[in-house]
Structure 1
Amino acid sequence: MPKSSNQKLKLLYLLKILREETDEEHFLNSQQLIERLARWDISAERKSIYDDIARLMDFGYDIVHVKNKAGSGYYMGSREFELPELKLLVDVVQASRFITQRKSRELIQKLEQFVSAKEATQLQRQVYVAGRVKTENESIYYNVDFIHRAIQENRQISFQYMEWTLDRRLVPRKGGERYVISPWALSWNDENYYLIGYDAAADQLKHYRVDKMGSIQLTALEREGGSAFKSFDIAAYTNKTFGMYGGKEETVSLEFADRLIGVVIDRFGKETDIRRLAEGTFRIRVKVAVSGQFFGWLTGLGIQARLTGPPDVVEEYKEYLKKINKLYEEGRFEEA
């Protein structure tokens, strides 16, 4: 009987079966493997199965031979990723706002290929995250790769920066004017991806939401701002910048109730200068970008936190609170 055209692919199909249908709790014996190979019109005998598995093991695949009361058989042992590692990656993909729902599904389906079909169901059960707001900008997935390429090739990029309108459309800012920036790093902060780049016109480093960058293009210009970025500490920058909104940088003093120590360390890090005051309170001195976002964060902590210096920032915060109170007293927004 002539052999089928698939016969030369026997080892590959055997590997596919072991990868997709076996794991530590599910194994297949030689007869079951023969039956599955037959579905692809591949003939096999018990002895050839033993020889083929030995070849795969010699090549480096971890195929385990089981012999117990339940029977005997083979399963794929260690893989590129362990199941707990893949569960973690699935959670990160699904929770990431900057990855669209469609791209999230595609990535998770690809991750499922690293485990058996039985184990893949455990990844599927982790996919849903209630109320998660995802970006609708499909291009962000490729924008990130594009920016990395520009960094590697030491080139500036140009792009349009987008903003939302009341009719839920993303439109270019400044009438479509293109921004020209030297990209230096990508930062993931507050559930969004940001480009850290040098703006030669303003002679400073700035950040941009990657999901709001449109029609990115590589330019022929070499990057600028290397000396500025060399002394730039991304971790410190993101710690002092609230919601990635810039503002005047100041060293401020803040007092907190002891119960907020975890909030403070989560926000500013373990190396923060912390001084105990009266029983039940402590003080810190940190650099922050003074902005409405910083004041909003502080206000959210209620009467368990107090800004104590410098005096001009304290006065600015008082004015911020007065304006909010005035809004509720008068029931209307101030004119811009």
Structure 2
Amino acid sequence: MPKGKNQKFKLYRLAQIMSEQTDEDHYITMPEIMSALEEYEITADRKSIYADLKDLEKLGIEIEGERIGSGYHYHVIGRDFELPELKLLVDAIQSSKFITERKTNALIRKLEKMVSKYDAQKLQRQVYVSGRIKTMNESIYYTVDAIHNAITENKKIKFQYYQWNVKKEMELRHNGAWYHISPWGLSWDDENYYLVGFDSEAGKIKHYRVDKILKIRMSNEEREGKEYFQQLDMADYTKKSFGMFGGKEQTIKLLVHNSLAGVIIDRFGKDIMMIPIDEQYFTVNVDVHVSRQFLGWVFSLGEKVKLLGPDEVVEEMKAEIRRLNQQYQI
């Protein structure tokens, strides 16, 4: 049998054919394998293909042959990711506001290559990206990578930070001044990605929207604030910060209707103690960073939640209600 022009790519093309055209429910016969290789100008006899299929298993691509009728049918089994797992990844990518629409589609196309063409169609049917609110900062991947590199190298980072103005233009904060921050972690909250770091000048922990960071670079200075972050549980910090807005951490007492028990557990976890008051209400003490966003969260739950203490926070809520009353002239 004369050799084709691309014989040196034989094993690669065989892996591609098996991965794309077969899965748990779709098989391919030996004649079909030979025909598919010929499309790439590669010739092969059955004996060499049997050997190549065994070589693919050594490379981590497990092939199973099943006798059907008078011949064998072959397919890939045991992929790195199962289809339900990839669907979860697709959903996570789609729902992430910090990933641009273009990058979202590019990532999903890459995930599709990890399954057969048949399962790839099932992933495609889940893609509903157009029209969703997405970040417009294409450099976010490089920003995240730079933050991780700085953490690994134990270095500070410098960057500029922007906001949108009423003309829908990017406007640098603090007249374009450079922020000099010690990065200690990344947090995903309310569909946004945040850098959590230590501001040495202010002497406290701060967080920044990653998609609003520009021109990031690693500093020569070593990170500071280790003593703060040794005592910090990052997940706990995110849970206490509503919308990642800062504020004084305080223990808040709430009176909550039983119908909102799920809301409280979803927000603060199952470890909190909910003390029954009567057949309809319970009280709960939770640690939060008190901010206007937290007060707004309590207010949004309506008459089924009441802030009981401490007194200074109750006064903040009353002041906020008076402000709203004056603002809307009720």
Q: TM-score range by the shorter chain?
A: over 0.9
Q: Is the deviation greater in 253-262 or in 18-27?
A: 18-27
Q: How does 1:265-280 map to 2 (within 5 A)?
A: 265-280=265-280
Give the C-alpha shift of residue 61 in structure 1.
2.5
* TM-score of the two chains, using structure 1 as the length reference: 0.94
Q: Is the deviation greater in 123-132 or in 247-256?
A: 123-132
After superposition, the C-alpha distances for 1:35-65 in whole angstroms (9 at most, x for unaligned) are 1111111112223222322332355421011
Q: Does 1:35 align with 2:35?
A: yes
Residue identity matched to 1:221 = E
Quote the residue 2:314 is aligned against: 314
Q: Does 1:198 align with 2:198?
A: yes
* TM-score of the two chains, using structure 2 as the length reference: 0.96
Q: Does 1:26 align with 2:26?
A: yes
Rounded to whole Å, the distance in 1 between the matches of 2:43 and 2:27 is: 20
Quote the residue 2:139 is aligned against: 139
Cα distance change on mapping 1:71 and 1:85 into 2, 3 Å: farther
SS of 2:65's equivalent in the other structure is: strand
Quote the residue 2:290 is aligned against: 290
Q: How does 1:102-251 map to 2 (within 5 A)?
A: 102-128=102-128, 132-251=132-251
Rounded to whole Å, the distance in 2 between the matches of 1:184 and 1:239 is: 17
Residue identity matched to 1:291 = S
Unaligned 5+ runs, structure 1: 331-336
After superposition, the C-alpha distances for 1:103-158 in whole angstroms (9 at most, x for unaligned) are 11111111111001111000111111585311111111211111000000111011
Corresponding residue pairs, total: 330
Residue identity matched to 1:110 = K
Give the C-alpha shift of residue 2 in structure 1.
5.1
Rounded to whole Å, the distance in 2 between the matches of 1:276 and 1:180 is: 48
Residue identity matched to 2:78 = S
Contact in 1 for aligned 2:2/2:43 (Cα 8 Å): no
Quote the residue 1:73 is aligned against: 73
Quote the residue 1:257 is aligned against: 257
Rounded to whole Å, the distance in 1 between the matches of 2:216 and 2:59 is: 44
Q: Is the deviation greater in 49-58 or in 218-227?
A: 49-58
Provide the identity percentage.
49
SS of 2:24's equivalent in the other structure is: coil
Rounded to whole Å, the distance in 2 between the matches of 1:58 and 1:152 is: 34
SS of 1:43's equivalent in the other structure is: coil
Q: Does 1:305 align with 2:305?
A: yes
Residue identity matched to 1:136 = M
SS of 1:42's equivalent in the other structure is: coil
Give the C-alpha shift of residue 102 in structure 1.
0.5
Quote the residue 2:47 is aligned against: 47
Quote the residue 1:333 is aligned against: none
Residue identity matched to 1:148 = H
